[in-house]
Amino acid sequence: MIPGELVNLCAVDRPDAAVLHRWLNDPVAMRGWGVPDQTRSLSEVGRRIEGWLAEEGERGRPAALLAEDLDGEPVGLVVLAEEDAAARSVALSLLVGDPARWGQGYGADLLRTALGACFDAWGFHRVWLRAEAGNERAHRLYRSAGFVHEGTLRAASFFDGRFGDVLVFGLLEEEWRGRL
């Protein structure tokens, strides 16, 4: 377990499939995560968890972390992807699964706690993430954590019959340490 102030992070495991299935099929949550509407079956979610568990075995660190509030209730998910071992770089994807929990500080603590693990426990030099151009809530969160807007992927997403831009944000280890 990786303790935070509002959330604790623990590696995703098979029993988490039901809550992840619910979140991954919530159109409001998925829109905030930058994923178009599509139904995911429970078995599909189970296969995704198996993939994360296999990656955890290969890399020696979790590929996905469930965020639980201090009462042990699941509130979010962090996925570590696109790792470049030579550059010590990793992409994060964050989700506060229940939109009713948005705006209560869970996302900020989830991000802070995940960054602490990325830089302190797992030795990454750079963490990056992306967000839809219109997701101002995510942009504010990332900037408040010290991320820098590194660029824009033009017309890289497709929602509601339209192409949209995706912004890329990055944070270097020394920038993170300078904020502590």
In a domain, 115, yes or no: yes
pLDDT of residue 40: 83
* Cα–Cα distance for residue pair 82/172, rounded to 1 Å: 16
pLDDT of residue 30: 74
In a domain, 142, yes or no: no
State the CB neighbour count (10 A cutoff) for residue 41: 11
pLDDT of residue 131: 94
pLDDT of residue 173: 98
* Cα–Cα distance for residue pair 7/94, rounded to 1 Å: 13
In a domain, 176, yes or no: no
Parallel/antiparallel/unpaired status of strands 64-69 and 2-3: unpaired
Which residue carries 């993939």 as its tokens?
51
The count of structural domains within the chain is: 1
In a domain, 158, yes or no: no
In a domain, 159, yes or no: no
The 162-172 sheet, strands edge to edge? 2-3, 7-11, 64-69, 74-84, 89-96, 126-132, 162-172, 148-159
pLDDT of residue 158: 87
In a domain, 95, yes or no: yes
- Residue 57 sits in a domain of what CATH number? 3.40.630.30
In a domain, 152, yes or no: no
Range of the domain at 108: 2-128
* Cα–Cα distance for residue pair 82/91, rounded to 1 Å: 6
In a domain, 136, yes or no: no
pLDDT of residue 36: 67
* Averaged pLDDT in 10-residue chunks for the chain of 180 residues: 97 96 85 71 94 95 97 96 95 92 95 98 98 93 97 92 95 92
